[in-house]
Amino acid sequence: MDAFVISIGSELLTGHTINTNASWLASQLNMAGIGIREVRAIPDKLEDITAALNDAGKKASLVLVTGGLGPTNDDITMNALCSYTGSGLVVDQKVLEDIRQFFKKRGRDPGKVNLDQAMVPEKALKVIRNPNGTAPGLWMEKNGITIIAMPGVPHEMQHMFTAVILPELIKLFPGNHIIHRHVLTQGIGESFLASRISFWENDLPPEISLAYLPSAGIVKLRLTGRGKDGKRIRDMIEEQITKLKRIIPEYIWGYDMDQMEEVAGRMLREKGLSLSTAESCTGGYLAHRITLVPGSSDYYRGSIIAYSNSLKELLLGVSPGLIENHGAVSGKVAEAMASGARKRLGTDFSVGITGIAGPGGGTAGKPAGTTWIAVEGPGVIASERFIFGDNRERNIIRTANAALMMLIRAIRDQG
Amino acid sequence: MDAFVISIGSELLTGHTINTNASWLASQLNMAGIGIREVRAIPDKLEDITAALNDAGKKASLVLVTGGLGPTNDDITMNALCSYTGSGLVVDQKVLEDIRQFFKKRGRDPGKVNLDQAMVPEKALKVIRNPNGTAPGLWMEKNGITIIAMPGVPHEMQHMFTAVILPELIKLFPGNHIIHRHVLTQGIGESFLASRISFWENDLPPEISLAYLPSAGIVKLRLTGRGKDGKRIRDMIEEQITKLKRIIPEYIWGYDMDQMEEVAGRMLREKGLSLSTAESCTGGYLAHRITLVPGSSDYYRGSIIAYSNSLKELLLGVSPGLIENHGAVSGKVAEAMASGARKRLGTDFSVGITGIAGPGGGTAGKPAGTTWIAVEGPGVIASERFIFGDNRERNIIRTANAALMMLIRAIRDQG
């Protein structure tokens, strides 16, 4: 069972958009045991779409198409599918109603171009509704080949695929089990981690393979098991994870789709504890990460972002002497920021961050990327220095990850 | 003059690697006036590579191949090119010496598999040396079609392309120009924008095409011009942009690679004005966006993130009566937040945001996604209500974009 991915959109051929849809679909299909034969990115042109559909049907039994379903003139995928399958267009009443509701919810009237998106090929076996946008997905067939078309907007496509298409595909094409599990670590580099766990890695059974996926201070360890017996493979992976937890307990903070801010939030909620933050160089990014979690207002109170020294004094009560004697980027100031936020915002825990995000602003003694992070909680205050690189955005992300790890450890230690 | 990109590597078809090489090459070629006809990602299999080369030769006069030139058994691009061009292998002495030096520098001996990388097709017109790795690039020809093969490791490929290949291509294929310009809008949906500018769009000269690239409340309008005379095309595009600016001045905030936070920052710096923010539902994301810009501390002072009502009162001085009478999510409270931050942080401008990020927390009168944004500046206070969807992350991004647009307008109006 092979699949063929057709990515439609001129923006993919000008370099303006990276084709992340194709790789996302590839990884999803792979996990379901469906291999990809080819990925083809083509412009919104009828003859190219038709040629790609023809070739795809010769090479694979499943064809996934993304893009070109929007309301504007440059979107012609729907027409191409009609002409390819010899189908006319009909109005889908459910989609029409979805579009009306979509606009109603936003307090606006749909235009004709939007309502026209309810026109779908009459030969479509299934019209896939789109709760995140106005373009529906299509499930069609020609000469025994399954053709599925989805919008190119990533979150619309992903939701449609996960909620409707993948479950149907798994029913249609059952078979080999590929099971992935992720162990999430922070604070140890890929190569150090590899040598630390090499004994365990070399001992993995042949059914299980390991990959290191590093990003911004986090290394994800992906264990992939393959075999006919799903339960056996799953148990084998669990056994290996149990062993791994004994080797590097201090670096593991979560599993699979966990996010650090979710893990910290769950721990705070379970223990009935509250949190505030005081940020300088991360400029609100830590607060943003924490508040991305739905329901975070249950434990998170807020943050004071003091970009200037005078605001560190005014809003957080950091004493001018401290800044003068130790510098704004110092352990003492990070601790005073955490302490000030904790007191003023009245929370159990608080995190203080001060540093030089870069690329400018560094000195010989304190290069760009130097960051101090402090965590204060009931009976505990800890601060740590990190020296990252000179890429501003990466420094901000790495700092937030390091801060969340310190916070997770501190809450964990509360028992 | 069209190009065809063939990306070779099984990792591209399992989702483990995103095909950034193709988009990088596409943008480089586009800037040189060479359009991309198709991008095809295929596995390291002889029949797939041969079929792709055949198809490519029918569709384009330039074929760029990346990947599959490494030293291991799964790398078969070199063999495929030999069989496709009917060429035998010969040792390239310069490449052999490069490989020896590469290993010597690293204090290691090359193995036979590495030295074998000096074997290149005898029919290669040019062997492109690789200062960053051991796999050389190849420049070949068959039936008047130019075929260029490069390693798949991005930095090796990019260096080779920029230093050797691109300058040669520009010499070989002068003339045709493809010029892109982007007009960046915010606050009007794709379909409304399309109908608003349809008269202008339908009137575009045949040399210029238009694409709508929407994301999170922002729609990028990409104008692409093609022709022999670069200056003429550039002037034609500028003329169209001038017309467009007259039709939708209120929605345009920037051009090409501009970011909203950069545009706002530039305006503040030029006018010597300062900024602070007060956020609730966006939880620091607006502050994060603003502080992503290097040097933002020149005009940005900080933010107060007041997630709870009591902190809105305590930290921003919002009166309890206001929250009681109008609700925490209201224009009055957004204005009081902006006003409070402006006073306490002592800045010229301040933005206040209060809303329901969702997916929970909505009511019948105020569904999830309801957001009030206020901007206060010298002699001006404005507030506006937005109703987004129930996707938390998207709501946060859309809110920040809407807030930055209101801020840009307010600073602009300062004259």
pLDDT score at B175: 64
Here the ipTM equals 0.73
Residue spans of beta strands (DSSP E) within B55-207: 62-66, 89-91, 119-121, 126-128, 137-142, 145-150, 177-186
Contact yes or no for A52/A68 (Cβ under 8 A): no
| Helix-helix angle B331-345:A309-316, to 10 degrees | 120
Structure confidence at residue B66 as a pLDDT band (50, 70, 90): very high
**Closest CB to A107 among B14, B224, B387:** B387
289-348 of B, contacting A, C-beta below 8 A: 290-292, 294-297, 300-308, 311, 314-315, 344-345
Residue A411: enclosing H or E segment and its boundaries?
helix A392-413
Residue B205 to residue B263: CA distance in whole angstroms: 30
Boundaries of every domain in chain B: 2-172, 177-255, 262-413
Taking the Cβ of residue A117 and every Cβ of chain B, the question of whether any pair is shorter than 8 Å is answered with no
How, if at all, do strands B62-66 and B145-150 pair?
parallel
Residue B320: enclosing H or E segment and its boundaries?
helix B320-326
- Mean of all residue pLDDT scores within chain B: 92
pLDDT score at A180: 83
Residue B215: enclosing H or E segment and its boundaries?
strand B208-215
CATH code of domain A177-255: 3.30.70.2860
Taking the Cβ of residue A119 and every Cβ of chain B, the question of whether any pair is shorter than 8 Å is answered with no
| Mean pLDDT within B178-189 | 92
Structure confidence at residue A89 as a pLDDT band (50, 70, 90): very high
Is 0.80 topped by the overall pTM? no
Residue A43 to residue A9: CA distance in whole angstroms: 5
Residues in chain B: 415
**Closest CB to B18 among A20, A282, A300:** A20
| Helix-helix angle B46-59:B77-85, to 10 degrees | 60
Using DSSP's 3-state secondary structure scheme, residue B313 falls into helix
How, if at all, do strands A2-8 and A62-66 pair?
parallel
Residue A58 to residue B156: CA distance in whole angstroms: 35
Supply φ then ψ for residue A279, to 5 degrees: -120, 145
Q: Which residues of A5-25 are buried (b: 16+ CB within 10 A; e: fewer)?
A: bbbbbbbbbbbbbbbebbbbb
The predicted-structure confidence for A176-224, as pLDDT tens digits, reads as follows 677 889 999 999 888 889 889 999 999 999 889 888 888 888 999 989 8
Residue B89 to residue A294: CA distance in whole angstroms: 61
Q: Which of B195, B33, B281 is nearest to A109 (CA)?
A: B195
Q: Where are the alpha helices (DSSP H) in B203-284?
A: 230-247, 260-271
The shortest C-alpha distance from B146 to chain A (Å) reads: 19
Q: Which residues of B99-123 are buried (b: 16+ CB within 10 A; e: fewer)?
A: beebeeeeeeebeeebbbbbbbbeb
CB contact under 8 A, A304 and B302: yes
Give chain B positions within 8 Å (CB) of A295: 360
**Closest CB to B307 among A36, A292, A302:** A302
pLDDT score at A175: 65
The CATH architecture one would assign to domain B2-172 is 3-Layer(aba) Sandwich (3.40)
Structure confidence at residue A106 as a pLDDT band (50, 70, 90): confident
| Mean pLDDT within A104-116 | 86
CB contact under 8 A, B13 and A37: yes
pLDDT score at A225: 87
Is the predicted pLDDT of residue B74 greater than 80, yes or no?
A: no
CATH code of domain B262-413: 3.90.950.20
Structure confidence at residue A157 as a pLDDT band (50, 70, 90): very high
